[in-house]
Chains A and B, each alone.
Chain A
Amino acid sequence: TAGFDARFPNQNQTKNCWQNYVDYFKCVANKGEDYAPCNQFKQVYKSLCPIKWVETWDEQRDNGSFPAMYE
């Protein structure tokens, strides 16, 4: 599961989930799908992010409306 992240020490973990999701796709875009350390971000966002949020963001990435630079 996701360990303690000192960047997000308080009760509001929204940014924690968001940041790991963005960082995973940034990592994959820069290092390729097979770069194993990228999976660290993937594990964290899978643990933290509600399934609905991930689905919405995946759709947004597919149709180009994802609100962050990840490539």
Chain B
Amino acid sequence: MSRIFCDYPLNYSLGFQDPASNWMYAIVDLHDRIIFFLLILLVLVSWFLVSSLTNKDHLTYLAHGNVIELVWTITPAGILWAIGLPSLNLLYLMDTFILEVLDAEITVKAIGSQWYWSYEYTDYVESNGSTIAFDSFMIDEASLEMGDQRQLTVDNALVLPVNTSIRILVSSNDVIHSFAIPSLALKADCLPGRLNSLGLIINRPGVFYGQCSELCGANHGFMPISLKAVTIPSYINFLEATAEAL
């Protein structure tokens, strides 16, 4: 049985976008665990609140009780442990695993400018010095084709292979931007003069969208990021075709 994923943001959506990397799955999992405890607490607290507001005799039986005081001190501490430990676990796992254990197989650079992204694949340099680098502009509404996403579709998407360990280095040419793709749990600020690295392994092919996440001027809302994840043979085709075309 195959699954269909929704890889674009929905109006009024309550949850995350469908995950496309293991980190995103882990974040959604952690979020679900936290919401579980949150909902129990919410119901409990509202119950007591409503009960105390609606019952005239709610002060009648108030007296000290050592056991219950012990319970309602230790239980919150226990809940915080139950939330905090997996959270820290995931945090450190994400940082160390991708950077140290899984060495990157390819490196791509995303440089933000006002108001477009430039992608550089300088792992591949021809003998004459030319490499693969191109700009990625948003397609404006008038030129959209049927099926394109408004304010998300770009002319040249960032193409990357699935199931490979990728290092994305982000920087900026002018002001501070931020490279973000929610369905891959990616977000890092792009500062001029600084190179921030992001680790990524994409689980499934598809097109994943993100938007610049740091106010950068008039068209800050109009410089989306479009990441097209393809199978490895398709990626190699893309590299060859782009190298020829450039």
On A, residues with C-beta under 8 Å from B are 1-4, 9, 11-14, 16-17, 46-52
Tell which of B105, B131, B173, B196 touches A52, judged by Cβ atoms closer than 8 Å.
B173
Q: Which residues of A are found within 8 Å of B133, using beta-carbon distances?
A: 51
Q: Which residues of A are found within 8 Å of B29, using beta-carbon distances?
A: none
- Interface members, chain B 174-197 (any A CB < 8 Å): 188, 193-197
Given that A3-B103, A9-B99 are contacting pairs, would A16 and B122 also be in contact in the complex, using a CB cutoff of 8 Å?
A: no
CA distance A46 to B131 in the complex (A): 10
Tell which of B100, B111, B125 touches A4, judged by Cβ atoms closer than 8 Å.
B100
Tell which of A13, A51, A52 touches B197, judged by Cβ atoms closer than 8 Å.
A13
Q: Which residues of A are found within 8 Å of B103, using beta-carbon distances?
A: 3-4
Pairs A-B, 3 closest by C-beta atoms:
A13-B195, A1-B107, A14-B195
Tell which of A4, A47, A49, A52 touches B99, judged by Cβ atoms closer than 8 Å.
A4
Q: Which residues of A are found within 8 Å of B99, using beta-carbon distances?
A: 4, 9
> Are B122 and A51 in touch, CB under 8 angstroms?
yes
On B, residues with C-beta under 8 Å from A are 99-100, 103-107, 109, 111, 120, 122-123, 125, 131, 133, 167, 169, 171, 173, 188, 193-198
> Are B196 and A12 in touch, CB under 8 angstroms?
yes
CA distance A51 to B198 in the complex (A): 19
Q: Which residues of B are found within 8 Å of A2, using beta-carbon distances?
A: 104, 107, 167
> Are A14 and B193 in touch, CB under 8 angstroms?
yes
Q: Closest chain A residue to B196 by CB distance?
A: A11
Q: Which residues of A are found within 8 Å of B111, using beta-carbon distances?
A: 50, 52
* B120 to A: closest C-beta gap in Å: 6
Q: Which residues of B are found within 8 Å of A46, using beta-carbon distances?
A: 122-123, 125, 131
> Are B123 and A12 in touch, CB under 8 angstroms?
no
> Are A17 and B195 in touch, CB under 8 angstroms?
yes
> Are B188 and A1 in touch, CB under 8 angstroms?
no
* A45 to B: closest C-beta gap in Å: 9
* A38 to B: closest C-beta gap in Å: 15
CA distance A16 to B167 in the complex (A): 14
CA distance A17 to B109 in the complex (A): 12
> Are B105 and A1 in touch, CB under 8 angstroms?
yes
> Are A11 and B193 in touch, CB under 8 angstroms?
no
Q: Which residues of A are found within 8 Å of B105, using beta-carbon distances?
A: 1
> Are B195 and A51 in touch, CB under 8 angstroms?
no
CA distance A47 to B194 in the complex (A): 15
* B107 to A: closest C-beta gap in Å: 5
Q: Closest chain B residue to A3 by CB distance?
A: B103
> Are B195 and A16 in touch, CB under 8 angstroms?
yes
* B236 to A: closest C-beta gap in Å: 15
CA distance A49 to B122 in the complex (A): 9
CA distance A1 to B167 in the complex (A): 9
* A12 to B: closest C-beta gap in Å: 6
> Are B171 and A50 in touch, CB under 8 angstroms?
yes
Q: Which residues of B are found within 8 Å of A3, using beta-carbon distances?
A: 103-104
